[in-house]
């Protein structure tokens, strides 16, 4: 597990970064979950093995820091994830958000318009957010397991 020090805060976000040559997928978990616990099995599926897979533990979850002075708003999660994406120098990437992670993904999509290739929302909570950027494809997960074959493309 790797760690990322969030600029000017001292907060530590932890994450898994599994190698792959295809477009990276950033997984954002929901409330009561953690990327380190809930997504390694998903990320290990054969249909995703060619993708770089990045599984974050949001602040307050899993192995990441749990600072008392962080606001834990959707917007603030999106803000440090934007910084994280820039630090990894991700080019086009796929953004996957589940539950609360879906709301964070929407806010993050607005901040990363120039880098976002696709967004996948699973059981997402909707928030009043800026307009979702135009992406090449909007994918809605309609299955229990994440695999390219099980996605419906609009």
Task: Supply the pTM of this predicted model.
Answer: 0.82
Q: Say if residue 110 is exposed, middle or buried (CB neighbours under 10 Å; 0-12, 13-18, 19+).
A: middle
| Number of domain units in the chain | 1
Any domain includes 153: no
Domain that holds residue 26: 2-148
CATH number at residue 28: 3.40.50.1820
Show the DSSP H helices in the chain as ranges. 35-38, 40-43, 74-88, 100-111
Q: Among residues of the chain, what percentage have pLDDT more than 90?
A: 68
DSSP class per residue in 76-98: HHHHHHHHHHHHHT--SEEEEEE
Strand partners, 4: 13
- Give residue-wise pLDDT tens across range 22-68: 999 999 999 988 988 888 998 899 999 999 999 999 999 999 999 99
Any domain includes 154: no
- Give residue-wise pLDDT tens across range 66-94: 999 999 999 999 999 999 999 999 989 99
Any domain includes 84: yes
């Amino acid at each position: 597990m790797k760690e990322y020090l969030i600029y000017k805060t001292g907060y530590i976000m932890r994450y898994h970064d599994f190698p792959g040559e295809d477009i990276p997928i950033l997984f954002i978990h929901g409330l009561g979950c953690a990327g380190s616990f809930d997504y390694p099995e998903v990320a290990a599926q054969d249909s995703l093995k060619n993708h770089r897979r990045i599984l974050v533990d949001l602040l307050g979850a899993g192995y990441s820091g749990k600072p008392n002075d962080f606001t834990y708003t959707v917007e603030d999660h999106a803000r440090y994830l934007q910084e994280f994406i820039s630090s990894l120098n991700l080019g086009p990437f796929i953004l996957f958000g589940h539950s609360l992670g879906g709301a964070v993904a929407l806010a993050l999509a607005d901040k990363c318009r120039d880098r976002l290739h696709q967004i996948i929302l699973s059981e997402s909570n909707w928030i009043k957010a800026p307009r979702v950027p135009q992406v090449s494809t909007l994918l809605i997960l309609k299955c229990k397991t994440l695999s390219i074959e099980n996605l419906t493309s609009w």
